[in-house]
Amino acid sequence: MSNATKVVIVTGGSRGLGLGIVKESLAGGYRVATCSRKRTAEMDVLEKESGSGRFMWQECVLGDEKSEAAFFDAVMKWAGADGLYSLINNAAIAGEGILATFPTVDAERLLNINLVSVLRLNRLALRRMLAQNRSARIINISSIVGLRGYTGLAAYAASKAGLDGMTRALAREVGRRAITVNSVAPGYLMTELSASLGQDQRRQIVNRTPLGRLGDVADVVPLVNFLLSDGAAFITGQTLVVDGGISC
As for how many domains the chain has, the answer is 1
Residue 123 is part of which domain span? Answer: 3-241
CB 91 within 8 A of CB 11: yes
Q: What is the pTM of this model?
A: 0.95
pLDDT tens digits, one per residue of 206-215: 899 999 999 9
- Report, as residue numbers or ranges, the catalytic residues: 156
Answer yes or no: is 71 within a domain: yes
3 state DSSP class of 58: strand
Indicate whether 248 belongs to any domain.
Answer: no
Mean predicted confidence (pLDDT) in 15-41: 96
Q: Which residues contact 144 (CB under 8 A, 6 or more apart)?
A: 185, 186, 187, 241, 243, 246, 247
pLDDT confidence tier of residue 194, bands split at 50, 70 and 90: low
Q: What is the pLDDT of residues 119-151, one digit of tens each?
A: 999 999 999 999 998 999 999 999 999 999 888
Segments of 37-178 assigned E as strands: 55-59, 86-89, 136-141
Answer yes or no: are the C-beta atoms of 32 and 25 closer than 8 Å.
Answer: yes
Model confidence at 197, in pLDDT bands (50, 70, 90)? Answer: low
Phi and psi for 125 in degrees, rounded to 5?
Answer: -65, -45
| pLDDT for 193 beyond 60 | no
How long, in residues, is the chain? 248
In a domain, 161, yes or no: yes
192: pLDDT strictly greater than 60: no
**For residue 72, which of 155, 83, 186, 46 has the smallest C-alpha distance?**
83
CATH value at residue 22 = 3.40.50.720
Average pLDDT for 95-121: 93
